[in-house]
Each structure stands twice: as C-alpha cells, then as structure tokens.
Amino acid sequence: SAVISQKPSRDICQRGTSLTIQCQVDSQVTMMFWYRQQPGQSLTLIATANQGSEATYESGFVIDKFPISRPNLTFSTLTVSNMSPEDSSIYLCSVHNRTGAGELFFGEGSRLTVL
Amino acid sequence: AQSVTQPDIHITVSEGASLELRCNYSYGATPYLFWYVQSPGQGLQLLLKYFSGDTLVQGIKGFEAEFKRSQSSFNLRKPSVHWSDAAEYFCAVGAREYGNKLVFGAGTILRVKS
C-alpha cells in the first residue's frame, strides 16, 4: 500500500485567508484525489489531480476556490482560497493502489478550522 | 447517477454481539465495492474490497461482507464485536467506467456497549 503524508495535519485559519495543503506519496502515481469531509459528514470528492494536466473538478467545486498543483508523480497541493467558516473540514489526499484502480489509500488528512 | 446509501446513521451493539452494517448502491456499471473504517481523529483504513469472483469477501479485524447483485447490497458483518470496533464505517463504490473515482456513503457510527 502507498504511504501518504499530508501537511499540515491541522490548522486554525482566519476568515478570508488561504491555506495550501501538501500531499506527498512514497511512490509514483498517475492520479491523486482530493476529498473533503465536513464535520459529521461523509467524504466528497473535490477534484482529481493528474500530472501534466489541469485538475478535473467535481460538480460544486471550482478552480478559483480550490486551486490544485501536481508538479510531479509523487506530490500535489490543494489550496483553499478565501476561506470562510463553511470551509472548516478535513481535507484528504488519496491515491489508488499500484495497479491504478480499485481501492484508495488515504493520508491522515488535514483538519482545518476557519474562524 | 451513482449513489451509495447507508441507511443506519448510528448503531449500538453489545460487546460480543454480532454486527451487520447495511450498504446499498445505485450504479450504472459493474461496481467495485469497499468498506472503510475511520476511528476518531484518524484517517480511513480499508477493511475489505470486492472486485469480482466470490461474493463473500473476508477483510481485516474479523470483518466480512457479502455482495448481492440482485439486491444491490454489500453489507458488512462481524460475528462478535469488540469494544475497539467502535468507529465510523463507510461503504464506497467505484467503477472503471467512471474513472475509478470512489463515491462514499454517509457513514454509520458504531457504538459498542460493555
């Protein structure tokens, strides 16, 4: 299984600011997935990050709010822009197994609280 | 559209009792099916998965799940629950036809009473 490291693990942010979350994987992967888990809720896919192309966003999520970078096959960042209290969530990075399909492996998540 | 339903938000069982968590899905393709567990403050851990073949799959920590195509279900079971099983459980579904993205159910919180 892949080992995924996320930074920061948690942060408290002020309204109107932006925060960038980093995701590092211990192996090269084609796709990386960013999920959001709002308090007491399930996981919702924000976008799929492919190396060498723009991220693909799910309905309800836009690049201006959640810009994503994917500079190489082991790293990605998600920025939460112009934050409001509604953005308080756990943000999770995930990747597939080595075959590129099937189950996802998750990082520990980045817990953001916006005041 | 793809959807996953976990009808039970909370379930409470006594330690040593059997457990069944329900999961139903609606998918326009042959699904892959998963159960994940999330303990408080932790990330998600894969319990088990179904891709094809034997419809009864075994996972870690003594869990098993049965895929029933006719009922569009993938229920999670454990014959004897331990206090350490208290956590939130998520059913997830994916398909190659949908880019292998996983759709998650709302989750079921399991409480274990001694």
A102/B106 Cβ within 8 A: no
Note the pLDDT tens digit of each residue in A51-94: 888 899 999 999 999 999 999 999 999 999 999 999 999 999 99
Query: Could you tell me which of A22, A27, A25, A26 has the C-alpha nearest to residue A11?
Result: A22
pLDDT of A98 strictly over 70: no
A45/B103 Cβ within 8 A: yes
Span A8-12, average pLDDT? 96
A102/B43 Cβ within 8 A: no
Check residues B55 and B42 and name the one with the higher pLDDT. B55
Percent of chain A with pLDDT over 70: 97
Question: What CA–CA distance (Å, rounded) separates A83 from A85?
Answer: 7
pLDDT (0 to 100) of residue A97: 73
pLDDT (0 to 100) of residue A100: 58
User: Does B46 contact chain A (CB < 8 Å)?
Assistant: yes
pLDDT (0 to 100) of residue A99: 64
Span A33-37, average pLDDT? 95
CA of B28 to nearest chain A CA: how many angstroms apart?
Answer: 17
Q: In chain A, which residue's Cα lies nearest the Cα of B97?
A: A101
Question: What CA–CA distance (Å, rounded) separates B76 from B34?
Answer: 10
| Alpha helices (H) along B51-99 | none
Check residues B41 and B103 and name the one with the higher pLDDT. B103
User: Does B109 contact chain A (CB < 8 Å)?
Assistant: no
CA of B25 to nearest chain A CA: how many angstroms apart?
Answer: 15
Note the pLDDT tens digit of each residue in B46-84: 999 998 888 999 999 999 999 999 999 999 999 999 999
Question: What CA–CA distance (Å, rounded) separates B2 from B53?
Answer: 22
With the C-alpha atoms ordered A109, A114, B4, B6, is the resulting torsion angle positive or negative? positive
